[in-house]
Amino acid sequence: MKRGFWSIVASLALLLGFADGAKGRDRMEKALFAGGCFWCMTPPFQQLPGVREVRTGYTGGQGENPTYEDYAERGFVEAVQVTYDPSEISYSKLLDVFWMQIDPTDPSGQFVDRGPQYRAAIFYLDEEQKMLAEKSKRELDRSGRYLKPVLTGIETADLFWPAEEYHQDYPKKNPIRYRMYKAGSGREAFLKKTWGSGKPEATDPPKKLNPLQYRVTRECATEPAFHNEYWDNHREGIYVDLVSGEPLFSSTDKFDSGTGWPSFTKPLAEENLIRKKDKSLFAERTEVRSKKADSHLGHVFADGPAPSGQRYCINSASLRFIPKEDLEKEGYGEFRKLFLK
């Protein structure tokens, strides 16, 4: 009798475990993007929190099982399939990263790679992805970032065929050749000119970040209190993301919180911040990250001064300070009005 009872218990546990596993797998979603050479589209997505896998491959053509030798003549396009956990990262965030890897004004290829097999496109898998893709395209087109119209296609997803194994994780397997290709193709210079330094790729650690800056922005470390660059900075100006240059905070909202870290009552540009639940250190806090670079900045607390009642406690190592007299020269002239008396 005992043996039969425990056999039933074991069977139920196995079934429940299987159900939980299936449920976990069901939470994963996929996104499909084309942006020219699929080597260059892999690292920016791989390093994102919540992304589980990025596969290079082919989509949108005729027939089955395309290869690198025949995919172009059969109408396929190089693409990447991103598998991600929507509870950790949104499809909108993936779209933001996608736009920062391509020239969306070029419908005939990408950079040195010409032809329809290298065209940029967003392949949506459901109506929600379609709606979000169209919205992000409209916003980018209206932003004025480009002098030409945004022409990247938004199309129904077709079957995705993984590329040969030597194309998978190519930047990691062949980092020197990859970096030479990316620089020589014109992509790197275009993206730097358009977006600034951008988020560093996992295969090419940022040379401009010192070890502390890297640990803070990329690994969510915290710098020492009272021993950091800006905790007692009283100059007038703005603070931007060290990696991407996104405007984040202003000296007009900075105050001495007594904590030993730069503290602000509110952000300079709300749209440049994202907030995430942080359950580390045995307590739930609200982490603050920059939107485009996804840099860890610090945390926000509800114990700040009036009128906001907020305290944005930020690591100096995540920031670059631009004094008010340099705003025009640095390309932030729109914020000069904050300091006019």
Ordered by where they begin, the domains of the chain are 26-195 (3.30.1060.10), 223-339 (2.170.150.20)
Q: Which residues contact 211 (CB under 8 A, 6 or more apart)?
A: none
pLDDT of 340 strictly over 70: yes
Residues 207-251: pLDDT tens digits?
Answer: 467 889 988 998 889 999 999 999 999 999 999 998 888 899 999
Per-position b or e across 33-42, b if 16+ CB within 10 A of its CB: bbbbbbbbbb
Confidence class of residue 62 from pLDDT cuts 50, 70 and 90? very high
Spatial contact of 158 and 62, defined as CB atoms under 8 Å apart: no
Q: Would you state the pLDDT for residue 67? A: 95
| CA dist., res. 118 & res. 238, Å (int) | 40
pLDDT, mean of residues 27-33: 95
- Nearest 5°: the CA angle 237, 197, 145 is 80
Q: Would you state the pLDDT for residue 211? A: 86
State the average pLDDT for the chain: 87
Per-position b or e across 79-95, b if 16+ CB within 10 A of its CB: bbbbebeeeebebebbb
Q: How far is CA 284 from the centre of its chain?
A: 24
Residues 138-196: pLDDT tens digits?
Answer: 988 888 888 889 999 999 999 999 999 999 999 988 888 888 888 899 998 899 888 87
Q: For the ranges 10-19, 70-79, 122-131, 283-292, which has the lowest average pLDDT?
A: 10-19
Place of tokens 């993007």: 33
Q: Would you state the pLDDT for residue 78? A: 97
Confidence class of residue 45 from pLDDT cuts 50, 70 and 90? very high
Computed on alpha carbons and rounded to an integer, the radius of gyration of the chain in Å comes to 23
The pTM assigned to this predicted structure is 0.55
DSSP readout, 54-112? EEEEEES-SSS---TTTTTTTT-EEEEEEEE-TTTS-HHHHHHHHHTTS-TT-SSEETT
Residues 245-300: pLDDT tens digits?
Answer: 889 999 999 999 999 999 999 999 888 999 998 887 667 899 999 988 888 999 99
Q: Would you state the pLDDT for residue 206? A: 44
Active-site residues: which are they?
A: 37, 313
